[in-house]
Amino acid sequence: MEILEARLYAGQDTLDLEVNAACGADLMSDVMAFVKEKVVLLTGLVNPQAIRTADLMDIKVIVFVRGKSPTEDLVAMAEENGMVLLGTKYSMFLACGRLYEAGLRGGGVREID
Amino acid sequence: MKLRFEVSGEDFSLAGRASTELKRALGRLGIDPGAVRRAAVAMYEAEINMVIHAGGGVAEAEILPDRVVLVLADRGPGIPNLELAMREGWSTAADRFRELGFGAGMGLPNMKRNADELRVESSPGSGTTVTMTILLGKGAP
Ligand SMILES: Nc1ncnc2c1ncn2[C@@H]1O[C@H](COP(=O)(O)OP(=O)(O)O)[C@@H](O)[C@H]1O
Ligand SMILES: [Mg+2]
């Protein structure tokens, strides 16, 4: 969270959750095509489908990039699903870069054939 | 057990809700999480397609001891060239849906990857019916 200077929107209680990989995507089908293990999803997409996609893929942490903040509805949806919602002012590129620098690697995704 | 969902073609904010409900229902039945996820993802892609390409339709899930059968039927324009539609990255989705996170041309390939069997029946003018089977293996409910 410090790495991304992130704001917390939902999931106070689940915050000590551990993740070992990250995936950045604005296209939800890509998330569904490539994610395998539990990851953090970084996305510029702020709508119910971002939450639903994460939910279907058992992703518990979503970071909204570029300073976008979720609406109350989305926060409520996330709370219901026991998810953590974060927001960062960094762009997708910088947010991913900072996580990478901090030791988080790709992983958790299937090989592209 | 059979579930039926009306999928609205008007309100995009609802798109994906049926699949989320299916996931919950399968989870409650104690079905193996891997199979639950495959069924939910396969249905989600088909549900989104019904919304963005066909103006909505009806999704049905039949839950049997050894498999889940998903049938999504719409009365949209149909798919003129199925072989092309199955290709990764091929899409006719409008830009506004791309901004909403869909239209990467990965939907049908994702369905194929997640379902054990995928059948698409479509003819221009009479809509599209997608039938998918997800096998539950030995961990049947
Ligand atoms: N239910 C449907 N009705 C009409 N056309 C469809 C339907 N489903 C898929 N298609 C066509 O097949 C193409 C590929 O579908 P898909 O792989 O899901 O990619 P995407 O939805 O991202 O475009 C779509 O762009 C569309 O032209
Ligand atoms: Mg699609």
Confirm or reject contact between B89 and chain A (CB < 8 A): no
Q: How far is the CA of A12 from the centre of ligand 1 (A)?
A: 39
Instruction: Please state the domain extents for chain A.
Output: 7-101
Domain A7-101 has CATH 3.40.50.2020: no
- A33-87 pLDDT, tens digit per residue, is 877 777 889 999 999 999 999 999 989 999 999 999 999 999 999 999 999 999 9
In this complex, the residue of A32, A45, A50 whose CB is nearest that of residue B45 is A32
Q: What pTM value is reported for the model?
A: 0.91
pLDDT at B139: 43
* Domains recognised in chain B with CATH numbers: 2-135 (3.30.565.10)
Torsion angles phi and psi, residue A74, rounded to 5:
-70, -40
* Nearest of A15, A44, A18, A10 to residue A104 by alpha carbon: A18
H or E segment to which residue A97 belongs: helix A92-101
Q: How far is the CA of B12 from the centre of ligand 1 (A)?
A: 16
